Structure 1
Amino acid sequence: MVASPPLARSARSTVTDVTWFFAIAILLCFSLSVPMVFRLVPTDFNNLITPLLQLTPLLAGIIMWLARRPGTFRETFATGWRGTPRWIGIGIGLIAAIAAIQTAVALALGIWELNPLDQIAAATMWVVPVLLMQSVFAIGEEFGWRGWLSTRAASWGFWPLALVSGLVWIVWHLPVLAVIGDRPLWDIVIYFAGMLPWAPLLLALRWRSGSVWPAVLAHGAINSIRVYLLQSVPNATDHLLIEVIGWVLTLAAAAWLMRPRKA
């Protein structure tokens, strides 16, 4: 019998580890979401359960790290801070710019109208506190998806890893169906499809910066600054054109970040 070459064994090992990581993260998420999905607790408890679900990718990553020990926690989860302020600013800036363009287009075309100025002003006061809170909640997700996974599967290349991780990220989010209420099937499809473009952008921030923290803060901005610009500033309704504009701009931002650098 001819032994497998080291490269082939390494590739199989990576697939095995990543498969285990995906399985553990999804199993933990689905298990912890049972009380929420099957309405075993009052809906008020959803706000307590959701942050626990966000920790499951981190827990899966820690389990795999303890099992394999490929390097230090800092190396494996890319927790270094050096040079990150610039990339954090770029990430938050891109999130804000994309949402601002979507809102500007919707207002210009008469698709949406501005909310009353006093309502916008009241919401503005909460942008920074919500950004910080959402960034803390995002640590569990980003340390898993863009921390451990990005390090372990780096050999796959940027776009394949972004696509695979994005698709699994959607599956991992399926318990959200329990809290978004009764919505038309098409709205649900659009909701989940909208998650996919964020995976390349967050991964690009992680790879270009060498740290998971820009992805953490950008994830927090998605759930705070983006929501403010798309929901608090305008009186927004679901609209496919505005969604598609956001998807295209997000993918374009990821491609721009990952453009070949001059020597």
Structure 2
Amino acid sequence: MTRHDDSRHPVRHPDSERPARVPWGAVAAYAALACGLAWGVAAPLWLGEGLASPLAGLLLPLMMLTPAIATVVVVFAFRVPRGGRARFLGLWPLRPAGRLVLFLALALVLPVVVVVATALVAGALGLVRLDLVGFSAFAAQVSANAPAGTPLPPVAVLVALQFAALPFGALVNSLLAFGEELGWRGWLQTALLPLGTWPALLITGAVWGLWHAPVILRGYNFARPDIAGVLLMVGGCVAWGVLFGWLRLRSASLWPAVLAHGSLNALAGIVLVLAAAGETPDLGLVGPLGVVSWGVLAVVIGVIVLLRQFRPGTLAAPRATLAPEPAATIAEGETR
């Protein structure tokens, strides 16, 4: 039997697959284009009735596509990456299948855990009154929206149906969430990885939060059309961005981050389902992106760190590089 010399094909550490350097010109162009397109799409909301405009239902989904458009432009205009684009963005390959399925399941479940835990912690802190037995606020809303005389099932059944429908809601919301995640966790985070895992996660989350400014300043999400609303959004996006970014890196795939984003969007109104009648929850504190959620996410991320799932060796990385290696380096590698 012939012995093979494995020294010619050493096993490569995942960190060795990371891009060699940050393409700052492309990063600046991407951020400017994504945010500029977002402001352009949202412009009619500033000229008319704001979020009450009939156009809001069309413009908000369109805005979610702007990071994907910016990604396509930068990928081809700046040629970043030069090759292996699907792998660089996390679109492919869909293997190992077992790992991908595991992280898709986590992507579906973790946002539910975080958002429900946020509501429960907020209730325990006295920031919102909850009714976990009669679901009185939700019952009042259902009764107000139902035609007079329409028989309704028990409210507990309706609440159970809300949670049972979450997987379907997550999938539907993922269709638009893909437009964002292709840009944030697919391109920008990957391009920033030469800075290190944590800087890439935090910077991506901050840019993601600022990108929301044109609608936050019209009262979206927190009903705070001011700098406080923008800062709340940045904080929420940084916190969630670490979790989404970890899913992207740990799974070596974009799809868990897409599904997690879709799951989060499907959960936007859960605190309203759990609240007591007469409550108007302050979403800047107790909502899915509010201050309490930052603490819950910090605990979840802390557990992931304690389980040593943020170690460089556990994080997969794209094989495509941002630019071809210099010819001399390649030649040296072939002669080692």
Note whether the superposition's TM-score is higher than 0.5.
Answer: yes
Q: 1:156 aligns with which of 168, 192, 195?
A: 195
1:23 Cα deviation from its structure 2 partner: 0.9
Question: Are the counterparts in 1 of residues 189 and 201 from structure 2 also a CA contact under 8 Å?
Answer: no
Alignment size in residue pairs: 252
| 2:257 maps to 1:215 | yes
Residue 95 (structure 1) aligns with: 111
Label 1:93 to 1:75 Cα distance change in 2 as closer, same or farther (>3 A).
Answer: same
Matched, 1:38 2:47: yes
Please show how residues 59-70 of structure 1 align to structure 2 within 5 Å: 59-67=69-77, 68=79, 69-70=81-82
Cα pair distance change 1:195/1:140, threshold 3 Å: same
Question: Is the 1:127–1:228 contact (alpha carbons within 8 Å) kept by the matching residues of 2?
Answer: no
**Structure 1 CA distance, aligned partners of 2:241 and 2:130?**
30
Residues in 1 aligned to 2:42 and 2:313: alpha-carbon distance in whole angstroms: 47
- Between 150-159 and 103-112, report the one with greater CA deviation: 103-112
Distance 1:143 1:15, change over 3 A: same
Query: C-alpha offsets along residues 204-263 of structure 1, whole Å, 9 cap, x if unaligned?
Result: 1101011010000000111113x2532323346127765443202213433516432789
TM-score (norm 2): 0.66
Cα pair 2:115 2:293 within 8 Å, conserved: yes
Change (3 A) 1:64 1:184: closer
Can you list the C-alpha shifts for 1:171-217, whole angstroms capped at 9, x where unaligned? 21011122538647586243443222111111111010110100000
Worse-matched range after superposition: 191-200 or 136-145: 191-200
User: What CA distance in whole angstroms lies between the structure 2 residues aligned with 1:48 and 1:93?
Assistant: 29
1:168 is aligned to 2:207: yes
Equivalent pair of 1:54/1:140 in contact (CA under 8 Å)? yes
Structure 1 alignment gaps of length 5 or more: 1-9
Counterparts of 2:167 and 2:110, CA distance in 1: 16
Distance 1:254 1:261 in 2: 15
Is the 8 Å Cα contact of residues 96 and 229 (structure 1) preserved in structure 2? no
For residues 227-238 of structure 1, the aligned pairs below 5 Å read: 227-235=268-276, 237-238=281-282
> Per the alignment, do residues 192 and 160 of structure 1 end up closer, same or farther by CA in structure 2, a change over 3 Å counting?
closer
Higher alpha-carbon deviation: 56-65 or 240-249: 240-249
Which of 56, 72, 81 lines up with 2:84 in the alignment? 72
- In structure 2, what is the Cα distance between the partners aligned to 1:106 and 1:142? 29
Instruction: Map 1:249-260 onto structure 2 (within 5 A).
Output: 249-255=296-302, 256=304, 258-260=309-311
Structure 1 pair 85/228, CA: closer, same or farther in 2 (3 Å)? farther
SS at match of 1:70: coil
8 Å CA contact 2:35, 2:211 repeated in 1: yes
Tell me the secondary structure at the aligned position of residue 113 of structure 1: coil
Q: Specify the code of the residue in structure 2 equivalent to 1:63.
A: V
Deviation at 1:66, TM superposition (A): 1.0
What TM-score does the superposition give when structure 1 sets the normalisation length?
A: 0.83
| Aligned match for 1:113, one of 130, 134, 137 | 130
What is the root-mean-square deviation of aligned Cα atoms in Å? 2.8
Range moving further from structure 2, 51-60 or 105-114: 105-114
> What residue identity is the alignment partner of 1:154?
L
Q: Following TM superposition, by how much is the alpha carbon of 1:109 offset from its aligned partner in structure 2, in angstroms? A: 5.1
**Any idea what the Cα deviations from partners look like across 1:149-181, whole Å, max 9, x if unmatched?**
222222111111122112211221011122538
Give the whole-Å Cα distance in 1 for the aligned partners of 2:49 and 2:292: 39
SS at match of 2:185: helix
Contact kept in structure 2, 1:77 and 1:147, CA below 8 Å: yes
Residue identity matched to 1:234: A
Asked if structure 2 preserves the Cα contact closer than 8 Å seen for 1:200 and 1:251, the reply is no
1:203 partner amino acid:
G
Offset of residue 17 of structure 1? 1.5
The structure whose Rg is larger is: 2
Q: Take 1:158 and 1:40, find their aligned partners in 2: how far apart are those partners?
A: 42
Higher helix share: 1
Pairing 1:23–2:62 present: no
Q: Secondary structure at the match of 2:238?
A: coil
